Amino acid sequence: MGDTDRPSEAEPTRGEADALDRLDPVVLHHIVNTLGWPDLRPLQRASIPPLMDGEDAVLLAPTAGGKTEAACFPLLSAMAQHRWTGTSVLYLCPLKALLNNLVVRVDTYAQWLGRRAALWHGDTKESQRRRIRTEAPDILLTTPESLEAMLIGVKTDHARLLGGVRAVVVDEVHAFAGDDRGWHMLAVLERLERVTGRPIQRVGLSATVGNPDQLLHWLQGAKAGDRTGRVVAPDVHLPPTGAEAEHGEQTAEAPSRRPAGEVELDFVGSLDNAAKLIAALHRGEKRLVFCDSRRQVEELGAALRAREVTVFLSHASLSVDERTRSEQAFAEARDCVIVSTSTLELGIDVGDLDRVIQIDSPASVASFLQRIGRTGRRAGSVRNCLFLTTRKDTLLQAAGLLLLWSRGWVEPVVPPPEPRHLVAQQLLAVTLQQHKLGDQLWEQQWNGLAPFDRSAAPILRHLTEEGFLDNDGGMLFVGPEAERRFGKRHFIELTASFTAPPQFTVLSGRTEIGRTDPSVLTEERPGPRRLLLGGRSWQVTYIDWLRKRVFVEPADGGGVAKWMSGGIVGLSYALTRAMREVLLGADPPVSLTRRAEACLTEQRESDGPDTVHPGGTLVTRVGSDVRWWTWAGYRANATLAATLQPVTDPLQRPTDCWLRLREDLTPADWRTARQNIGENLVLPDVDPRAVRGLKFSAALPERLAVATVAARLADFESARKVLSEPVRLQASSEPA
């Protein structure tokens, strides 16, 4: 159910019918008479008993699978049945745009029972926040960062506003769990339970993930072992589990099975060629095009506009107003294209789509499932995606990804290890919230949730020694160093667990267009300085360096789009190994164009013999360039480079597919290095710039900050798997 879909009219079983009877009669009346639904979807029926019984749950369904209703209908019924008052349900989302998209729908359902939903995030006006403080809504839609701000802010009586919370819904829970924002959210929920004085029911909504049981256990937090909960997924074929799921392995006997949907893989050779094809194909249809960088979005948008295609853009560096205008116009139009980064991957409604087009390849099967799930919502239509790859390596990546998808495999969601920087952040935040904190009782604030427990004592000691916290008679207070580093605008910087790179705001008159990377303003280029933003070129007329503002006026062309990437992005072991399978001859069971087939054939014939071998990994030598083709992914290769330092090039940056070895390497050196490893794998080396990119790293001892980044660069399990395989030294035909 959800955005536009109506449920099927399948006859419910006796147990399911009984579940429907548990819904509040008013809710059931409106489902039938206001929404006109003849029945609920299986997920929506199956979620009623556990949610109304107060159990924790993770609800799994494809995009537009009706997860919001599956959570809202039972919780509203429980709200009425148990006479909850005040703000009793929180609805957390990772994106403000998703909250904006949901609030009207959730409020409509709440009003059936005379209840109210309201919105609070970074863009919410102070007048609206004042109303929420004085007239608490029954459901509050917000982000974990805004929830943290409510707890530590001086304007909000958090005990009065949040003390009656009974349940929290976490939308797109997988997006939180795989990121530091998940650790931050879990810590804030534990602190909220201290405010309410009772356990809070936790309900996660997610698309298909590779490890739903572990995701539920993670969401349950500190007392997971004492809480009841279940995964509800009647609409979903759950992917393989266990060691094979971790690495995407499939035995030779396991058949590929092509999931429902029309998928085509093409090779077009350039972004400009992709624009030509999009402009020529599917006229009269509404098309959503995904790119995996803001720069690609801008360049493709400009190329489509030059071909007189009605085009709209969406990415994180466009202003809120610009993105909202684009998304609304796109939702109402027909013959048009919207080009987006992953900002439109999550559940934001952009209307009834005809087609999804992917430029190059996403980095995960989970991401692809979200994107293809944007289509096929109309009766009689099917889910579809056209891949337009612009380079040989992205064609190979897309083919590997589709091979994994065809097997029903999805990545497990794994929280980032050792979030010590967030432990430091939480110690400061909870001291702000409480105003003072006992130096022996501080760990109780998170109910024993690791790593926010007694193991954090060295971090607390560092914060005190460095002046982030003051200790006066056994009580901790916020110290001068915390005020200096994080105290601006009422400690607003302390509420966000992620670091946004510095950007300049771009203004045309008084209208904000978006933000650009400062390097576009400083690098030397001939001629007038021009930017590409919103799919249009702009000429810079004035730069306010102090306030980080750029004033522009429209230009005919020649604009440049550029943003610094947010840290190291590498491919996983599973995806890189699937790419190796493609080079060895495996084809994904999708439609391949003649261009794609020809390019893959060329890669297999020209690159294959020098990069892959069916019997194990390969070491090749071309002049002084010696490479070990592991096909293990970035993190495993970084681990192997550190572990095999006697034979690896110390100046290299590992890639997804290979490592550079020393040019004077001999087979004897190689065997000796391998024999000396034993079980002692080594954490990767850490670039100091990577430590600076770790938010709140300034509040950690340097050695702990380095150890945190190193742990996140490592993949010991995949590295061990590679080390267990035969290695063939191409220069000598003998296996090593």
Instruction: Give CA separation, 273 vs 245, 496, 591, 726, in Å.
Output: 37, 40, 20, 42
Q: Is the pLDDT of residue 722 over 90?
A: yes
Q: Parallel, antiparallel, or unpaired for β 139-142 and 167-170?
A: unpaired
The reply to whether 164 and 293 lie within a common domain is no
The reply to whether 196 and 81 lie within a common domain is yes
Residue 240 vs residue 157, higher pLDDT: 157
In a domain, 478, yes or no: no
pLDDT of residue 15: 53
Mean predicted confidence (pLDDT) in 245-264 = 49
Least confident span in 102-111, 445-454, 486-495, 707-716: 486-495
The reply to whether 384 and 273 lie within a common domain is yes
pLDDT of residue 334: 83
The reply to whether 214 and 94 lie within a common domain is yes
pLDDT of residue 4: 38
pLDDT of residue 283: 86
How far apart CA 27 and CA 339 sit, in angstroms, is: 38
Three-state DSSP class for residue 600: helix
In a domain, 142, yes or no: yes
Task: Give the structural domain span for 95.
Answer: 14-232
In a domain, 249, yes or no: no
Distance between start and end Cα atoms, the chain: 56
Q: Is the pLDDT of residue 583 over 90?
A: yes
Q: Domain of 85: which CATH number?
A: 3.40.50.300
In a domain, 679, yes or no: yes
The reply to whether 518 and 614 lie within a common domain is no
Q: Give 735's DSSP letter.
A: B
pLDDT of residue 690: 76
- Which of the listed residues 399, 419, 441 is the one where a domain comes to its end? 399
- Which of the listed residues 356, 377, 399 is the one where a domain comes to its end? 399
The tally of domains found in the chain comes to 4
Residue 731: CA count within 13 A, CB half-sphere: 15
pLDDT of residue 3: 41
The reply to whether 652 and 717 lie within a common domain is yes
Q: Is the pLDDT of residue 14 over 60?
A: no
Mean predicted confidence (pLDDT) in 107-117 = 97
The reply to whether 206 and 277 lie within a common domain is no
Least confident span in 297-306, 327-336, 715-724: 327-336
Least confident span in 51-55, 84-88, 269-273, 502-506: 502-506
The reply to whether 213 and 290 lie within a common domain is no
Least confident span in 139-148, 343-352, 557-566: 343-352
Q: Is the pLDDT of residue 606 over 90?
A: yes
Q: Long-range contact list for 656-659, CB < 8 A, 24+ apart? A: 656/570, 656/571, 656/576, 656/631, 656/632, 657/576, 657/579, 657/611, 657/629, 657/630, 657/631, 658/611, 658/627, 658/628, 658/629, 658/630, 658/631, 659/627, 659/628, 659/630
How far apart CA 394 and CA 734 sit, in angstroms, is: 33
Closest CA to 137 of 148, 149, 145, 129: 129
The reply to whether 529 and 619 lie within a common domain is no
Q: What confidence tier does 257 reach under pLDDT thresholds 50, 70, 90?
A: very low
Q: What confidence tier does 729 reach under pLDDT thresholds 50, 70, 90?
A: confident
In a domain, 523, yes or no: yes
pLDDT of residue 11: 47
Q: Is the pLDDT of residue 735 over 80?
A: no
Q: What confidence tier does 99 reach under pLDDT thresholds 50, 70, 90?
A: very high
| Mean pLDDT, all residues of the chain | 88
Mean predicted confidence (pLDDT) in 277-299 = 92
Percentage of the residues of the chain whose pLDDT score is greater than 70 = 91
Mean predicted confidence (pLDDT) in 511-534 = 88
- Which of the listed residues 399, 419, 452 is the one where a domain comes to its end? 399
Which residues, in sequence order, are CB contacts of 637 under 8 Å at separation 6+?
630, 654, 655, 656, 658, 659
For the entire predicted model, the pTM comes to 0.88
In a domain, 329, yes or no: yes
In a domain, 26, yes or no: yes
Q: What confidence tier does 247 reach under pLDDT thresholds 50, 70, 90?
A: very low
Least confident span in 256-260, 522-526, 571-575, 627-631: 256-260
The reply to whether 225 and 266 lie within a common domain is no
pLDDT of residue 566: 55
pLDDT of residue 327: 78
pLDDT of residue 16: 52
How far apart CA 354 and CA 374 sit, in angstroms, is: 9
How far apart CA 79 and CA 352 sit, in angstroms, is: 33
Q: What confidence tier does 732 reach under pLDDT thresholds 50, 70, 90?
A: very low
The reply to whether 178 and 309 lie within a common domain is no
The two tokens of residue 66 are 């009706």
The reply to whether 63 and 202 lie within a common domain is yes
pLDDT of residue 237: 63
How far apart CA 152 and CA 133 sit, in angstroms, is: 15
In a domain, 432, yes or no: no
